Amino acid sequence: MKATSIGAVMVGDVVTADRDTPLRDVVRRLRDHRVSGLPVIDEDDRVVGVIAERDLVLRGSGDGTAAGVMSAPAVTVHAEAPVPEAARLMAEHGVKRLPVVDEEDRLVGMVTRRELLQVFLSSDDDIRREISRKVLTDTLGVPARAVDIAVHDGVVTLTGQLERRSDTAVAVGMTSRLGGVVSVLDQLSYRVDDSHPRPAEEAALHGVTDDYVSGP
């Protein structure tokens, strides 16, 4: 099963500060963008701390810069991590938002409790209809009846046969990224394994026809 990733629900446009940002500018950014916290990043876009409104209250003005009031080290989550991982981190550390980082720990987004809740707000019937329309009909061009779609509390089970192996990968991948989907159980089969070209296809790719290979 594959759970919805943080990267699929995060907000990509993030308000940030650096260590030397004056506190008055931090407060202005929080106010102007109507956010309750922001990450502090270094010159390589790596997160070195987080400033929440409570940090301003508890730590006062510090040295007058973001570095003086930020909480460090920052609690972050990787973009490829599943949604439940972010929810667990928020609960453990008592925070309402998490900076999202890539494989090199550079800031790529922000996720809040609001985004996590949105994942679970879609009803099972809504999810089923979206899979039928967006994934099967619009993308793969197959009748919805070709695949049995079972959804229970956001967990999707896909059962049936598609034409190609690559079609099953598309079906599972697209479904896992839909809003409200917690995880996907793949029980799909396929008629043709197109993961490797057949000998005739390999020959054609090299400009050699079947007639030439078989000889006169």
Residues in the chain: 216
Q: Cβ distance 14 to 29 under 8 Å? A: no
Supply the pLDDT for residue 96.
Answer: 86
Q: Cβ distance 198 to 213 under 8 Å? A: no
From first to last of the 216 residues of the chain, give the pLDDT tens digit: 455 788 888 999 899 999 999 999 999 999 999 988 999 999 999 999 999 888 888 776 667 899 999 999 999 999 998 887 888 888 788 888 999 999 999 999 999 888 777 766 678 898 999 999 999 999 999 988 899 999 987 789 999 999 999 999 999 999 988 877 777 899 999 999 988 765 554 544 444 444 433 444
Supply the pLDDT for residue 120.
Answer: 67
What are the residues whose beta carbons fall under 8 Å from the beta carbon of 207, sequence distance 6 or more? Answer: none
159 pairs with which residues across the strands?
148, 187
Supply the pLDDT for residue 183.
Answer: 78
**Secondary structure of the chain in HEC code, one letter for each residue:** CCCCEHHHCCECCCCCEECCCEHHHHHHHHHHHCCCEEEEECCCCEEEEEEEHHHHHHHCCCCCEHHHHCECCCCCEECCCEHHHHHHHHHHHCCCEEEEECCCCEEEEEEEHHHHHHHCCCCHHHHHHHHHHHHHHHHHCCCHHHEEEEEECCEEEEEEEEEEHHHHHHHHHHHHCCCCCCEEEEEEEEEECCCCCCHHHHHHHCCCCHHHHHCC
Find the distance separating the first CA and the last CA of the chain, reported in whole Å.
Answer: 52
| Calpha distance 216→206 (Å, rounded) | 19
99 is written with which tokens? 């900076």
